[in-house]
A and B are shown apart, each in its own frame.
Chain A
């Protein structure tokens, strides 16, 4: 229990909005099958393009499917694929980064050169090139995006690994004759994974965008599995008559991404000094007022 305390303290400092949105996304994604009021792929050609009704709170699409249910199931699609991408990319990235940070020398040079090249090419282009060669499909998409995503975590974990390796206690361990395995698995790896997780979470929004974009282009999640980008492109031909079906999945995706982006920004901005918030200022004023009394009492 005590080990969780610092984690909670850190969570507490992050922007509330971000945590709420991310929490909502996670909950919706995890429990989608139980939350969706109707079968997301049940078509009803007699009830196409409906507005909100008692039966269909957000209306139906051009095939008469319930939009609300599809939006909810799409959260699940998104969560699962983003999760897979990040886990694979992080595993590869952390492995490469820690190896580079542990060995240094030419291994480091080579791996970081690859990372540089990978980072300089937009992830969408990398992913599309892979899909173009291998052919579309769910796992191609996940692998293609992982390939585009690992260099980021590779670079971060290398930086973290290098800083861990240069700490005095690692040097001491070495002198005391700790085995390389113990240093690697006991100290280097856990420390690096912790740091990379934070960045990976903040980056999940971009990954969600990438999944949706590939699906929008017809090269990601394939119908009938609902996905926000794919729902949007499906509804695009009916934009004039039924814009709601375009706007709703767009909003759902944007909301999820905003949550992750707020988180990412708050992490990036931590180091810049800002003026005090009104609340802290008042607290400090009270503190100072207390001193004056103390002194006059004396």
Chain B
């Protein structure tokens, strides 16, 4: 089975049970990531991207109970149904995580050097001394100048970009096979965003890691990812190789997203061509297509039943749209 992808998610459904309500933020999503590949997961905020990636690995906040079904195979091992003590061994060691907000992701009262070094102690069984050395190496690796001094600083003494680099250093410290980056640039200044993205891409290639890059910004995807999953309201709308999906988007939602990317030829001050309408608030799963209220192509059949993901004209791309798939069948 040496051909099996590093990460194989199939038909994953996540239910979150909270004191106020039950929601299904992930509803039957499938995708794979091979070693050395980068998968982009794109969707508006609230579409379930974070939950989809974090819930199977036990990274949900207190106050929420998680119900998982479907399958998440990582490195030949089924994660769903594994006890927390086993999943914990996967976190940090085999999978590194990067969070959206580097301001709050680091412990404010501990030196950043310790926060990196403890990873090396835990996963590479290093002595504290050796771990400090390793932290220094890592901090150089993520491109921080004056590394020795930085190690002794506290998070609030660093800028957002530097903090995100520290978070990346932490994620890399266990020498993971897979990096999950949850909107790693959203909370940063525009000028820093490109740097961090380039750093991530570069590290991924050099260390030959697989990467899941979560973003709500189609513009980020083009140069960075090999494959793409477009999420809308807990479900995958379209999935396929980036070059194909970006060039010929089929699902009306994907088209809307790509249309919304600002273009160079736009006159300055021209109107933002965002999608009309707002994404639905999640709760119980939708009957029919969740995008119907905002969709120009919607027909009555769209709301009757959930459109299945089906191969489009290009067999590498799958699309969950009744109208698009009907046309293909007709052709």
Contact surface of A with B, Cβ cutoff 8 Å: 273-276, 280-281, 284-285, 287-288, 291, 294-295, 298
Contact = CB atoms under 8 A, between A and B. Distances in A.
Interface in B1-31: 15, 17-19, 21-22, 24
A-B complex: 3 closest residue pairs judged by Cβ atoms: A273-B63, A284-B17, A284-B22
Contacts of B17: 276, 280-281, 284-285, 288
16 contacts: A273-B61, A273-B62, A274-B62, A281-B17, A284-B21, A284-B22, A285-B17, A288-B15, A288-B24, A288-B67, A291-B284, A294-B284, A294-B287, A298-B287, A298-B288, A298-B305
Interface string B21-61: 11010000000000000000000000000000000000001
Interface of B: 15, 17-19, 21-22, 24, 61-63, 65, 67, 284-285, 287-288, 305-306
A284 B288 CA distance: 23
A295 to B, nearest CB: 6
A281 B64 CA distance: 10
Contacts of B22: 284, 287-288
Given A276-B18, A284-B22, A285-B17, A291 B63 contact: no
A284 B23 CA distance: 9
Contacts of B61: 273
Contacts of B305: 298
Which has the most chain A C-beta neighbours within 10 Å: B22, B61, B287? B22
A294 B285 CA distance: 9
Nearest to B61: A273
Nearest to B13: A292
Contact of B63 (A275, A285, A294): A275
A294 B19 CA distance: 23
A274 B63 contact: yes
Query: Main SS of the interface on chain B?
Result: loop
A295 B15 CA distance: 14
A189 B22 CA distance: 39
A273 B287 CA distance: 32
Contacts of A280: 17, 19
Contact of A298 (B19, B65, B306): B306
A275 B62 contact: yes
A285 B18 CA distance: 11
A274 B62 CA distance: 6
Given A295-B285, A298-B306, A276 B15 contact: no
A104 to B, nearest CB: 30
Contacts of A275: 62-63, 65
B32 to A, nearest CB: 24
A273 B65 CA distance: 12
A291 B69 CA distance: 14
Contacts of B67: 285, 288
A295 B306 CA distance: 9
A291 B285 CA distance: 7
A43 B298 CA distance: 90
Contacts of B21: 284
Contacts of A288: 15, 17, 22, 24, 67
Nearest to B17: A284
A287 B62 CA distance: 21
A54 B92 CA distance: 72
A26 B212 CA distance: 61
Contacts of B18: 276, 284
Given A281-B17, A285-B67, A288-B67, 18 more contacts: A273-B61, A273-B62, A273-B63, A274-B63, A275-B63, A276-B17, A276-B63, A276-B65, A281-B65, A284-B22, A285-B17, A287-B22, A287-B284, A288-B15, A288-B17, A288-B24, A295-B285, A298-B287
Contacts of B19: 274, 276, 280
Which has the most chain B C-beta neighbours within 10 Å: A274, A288, A294? A288
A273 B64 CA distance: 9
A276 B17 CA distance: 8
A28 to B, nearest CB: 35
Contacts of A284: 17-18, 21-22, 65
A266 B221 CA distance: 47
A167 to B, nearest CB: 25
Contacts of A276: 17-19, 63, 65
A274 to B, nearest CB: 6
A284 B22 CA distance: 6
B58 to A, nearest CB: 14
B34 to A, nearest CB: 31
A254 B50 CA distance: 49
Nearest to A290: B284
Nearest to A298: B305
